[in-house]
Amino acid sequence: MTTFASLVERFYALTANWGLPWIVPTLVVMTIVAAVILGYIAVACMFLVWWERKISAHIQVRFGPMRVGGWHGWAQSIADGVKLLLKEDVIPAGADKVVFVLAPMVVFAASVAAYVAIPWAPGLIVRDLNIGILYMISISSLVVVGIIMAGWSSNNKYSVLGAMRSAAQAVSYEVPLVLSLLGPVMLAGTMRMGKLVEAQSGVWFGLLPKWFVFPQIVAFLVYFTCSLAECNRLPFDIPEAESELVAGFHVEYSGMRFAIFFLAEYANMFVVAAIATTLFLGGWKGPWVALPGLPAEVAHGLFGLFWFLVKCYFLIFVMMWLRWTLARLRVDQLMDFAWKVLLPIAFANLILTGLVLVLGKQVLLYVLGVALLLLIAVALTARGVRQGSAHVAGKAVRAQKA
């Protein structure tokens, strides 16, 4: 089977024959990959910005950008990008210059690095690491380091507040996020992204695809909620809450540096959507047909890419939809929600998955039975307590009357 990895191997073998030192072909491959990924991110982010503006506009009974480029203002993002490039780059007096300059780079690098392990299509993955999912989670949570750098170095109190909120939020939401991802990982028995997708092949009852979203629906919902918080999207956008902190951590940034923050946010959105697609929605799995004039492998790859992108963009659409419908949470409610609601649910899901894997499916019956018994017991006790207290209260009233 032709995969990206095998192509790279063939290229290395070829160059070894020419007698070039090993560093040259490695650099060539790295440059090509980096260029393709950066190009994709730039184009995709511009599309996402335009798309988000259109979605928000149609939710809000208006049109959104309509002028630039003709059809529905498709070139609006390009014009905005050019404007941001040409803007003056302001570094506030009193800012910590080195950290201030580095911060957007850190944020962007962290978001981009996660693209290495995204399985785009069968065989099309830059590096199918054996700890792929772990790598993606850990590298993309480096974003918060950049945010704290930006907040602190700006010498602005609103930025500091935003950075502190971001740190608290990231730390809290990482935990249920990772726990929720462990469910599919346990089902598949691997952390390799390619294998995770392969583990979801086949159908149940001849109809329902064997995606992990069905057995792990709880984990999927927990993950999706946490991923909103990871991307600082509404209702979890408190680090940059516009009406409270003006713009939070990036309030002092302008021009290209601001654009990079913006780019990183949308790049990050795609990463979390890609993780959800890979682990829960069957990755690039989907119906495909052989295309005339193309090798079957290529056709399969193209269809895989298509399905993968469709699933990702659907999730991103849901994220935007939520953003333009909901109100923002408060910082303490946000923490409560992570630690008191999401974390217990994620743990319960994890334990249940483990029990099912070890003891077989019949354990579900036992769990259901125990839950039912517990429920009845709780209901009865509550009723008893209420009756008891009513009894006591009645006694007191009677005593008073007497």
- Which of 103, 107, 112, 245 touches other proteins by CB under 8 A? 245
Least distance (Å) from other proteins to the CB of residue 233? 11
The answer to whether residues 300 and 201 touch, using CB atoms and an 8 Å cutoff, is no
Q: Which is nearer to other proteins, 17 or 243 (CB)?
A: 243
Per-residue exposure over 300-311, b if at least 16 CB sit within 10 Å of its own CB, e if not: bbebbeebbbeb
Task: By CB under 8 A, tell whether 62 contacts other proteins.
Answer: yes
- Which of 61, 289, 358, 365 touches other proteins by CB under 8 A? 61
Tokens of 247: 């713009």
CA distances to 97, 99, 232, 348 from 176, rounded to whole Å, are 35, 30, 16, 11
Tokens of 378: 């709780």
DSSP 81-130: HHHHHHS-----TTS-HHHHHHHHHHHHHHHHHGGGG---BTTB-S---T
Instruction: Please give the residues from 297 up to 336 whose contact with other proteins meets the rule CB under 8 A.
Output: 324-333
DSSP 14-74: HHHHHT--THHHHHHHHHHHHHHHHHHHHHHHHHHHHHHHHHHHHHTTS----STTSGGGT
Q: Which is nearer to other proteins, 114 or 168 (CB)?
A: 168
Least distance (Å) from other proteins to the CB of residue 153? 10
Burial class (CB in 10 A: 0-12, 13-18, 19+), 389: exposed
Least distance (Å) from other proteins to the CB of residue 242? 6
Give CA–CA dist 318/216, Å, rounded: 19
Task: By CB under 8 A, tell whether 1 contacts other proteins.
Answer: no
Least distance (Å) from other proteins to the CB of residue 270? 22
Q: Which is nearer to other proteins, 160 or 182 (CB)?
A: 160
Task: By CB under 8 A, tell whether 271 contacts other proteins.
Answer: no
Contacts of 202 (CB under 8 A, 6+ apart): 209, 210
Task: By CB under 8 A, tell whether 158 contacts other proteins.
Answer: yes
The answer to whether residues 121 and 302 touch, using CB atoms and an 8 Å cutoff, is yes
Q: Which is nearer to other proteins, 108 or 236 (CB)?
A: 236
Least distance (Å) from other proteins to the CB of residue 333? 6
Task: By CB under 8 A, tell whether 340 contacts other proteins.
Answer: no
- Which of 128, 198, 244, 297 touches other proteins by CB under 8 A? 244
Least distance (Å) from other proteins to the CB of residue 264? 21
- Which of 2, 3, 138, 155 touches other proteins by CB under 8 A? 155
What binding mask, one character per residue, do residues 201-240 give for other proteins by CB under 8 A, x or -? ---------------------------------xx-xx--
Collapsing DSSP states into helix, strand and coil, what is residue 294? coil
Task: By CB under 8 A, tell whether 94 contacts other proteins.
Answer: yes
Burial class (CB in 10 A: 0-12, 13-18, 19+), 368: exposed
Give CA–CA dist 300/74, Å, rounded: 30
Q: How many residues bind other proteins (CB under 8 A)?
A: 35
Task: By CB under 8 A, tell whether 93 contacts other proteins.
Answer: yes
Least distance (Å) from other proteins to the CB of residue 245? 8
Contacts of 244 (CB under 8 A, 6+ apart): 238
Tokens of 291: 């295309």
What binding mask, one character per residue, do residues 161-180 give for other proteins by CB under 8 A, x or -? x--xx---------------
Least distance (Å) from other proteins to the CB of residue 147? 17
Q: Which is nearer to other proteins, 340 or 398 (CB)?
A: 340
Stretch that binds other proteins, among 36-44, 91-99, 288-296, 382-390 (CB under 8 A): 91-99
The answer to whether residues 166 and 144 touch, using CB atoms and an 8 Å cutoff, is yes
Task: Give the binding site for other proteins (CB under 8 A).
Answer: 56, 59-62, 93-94, 96, 155, 157-158, 160-161, 164-165, 234-235, 237-238, 241-246, 324-333
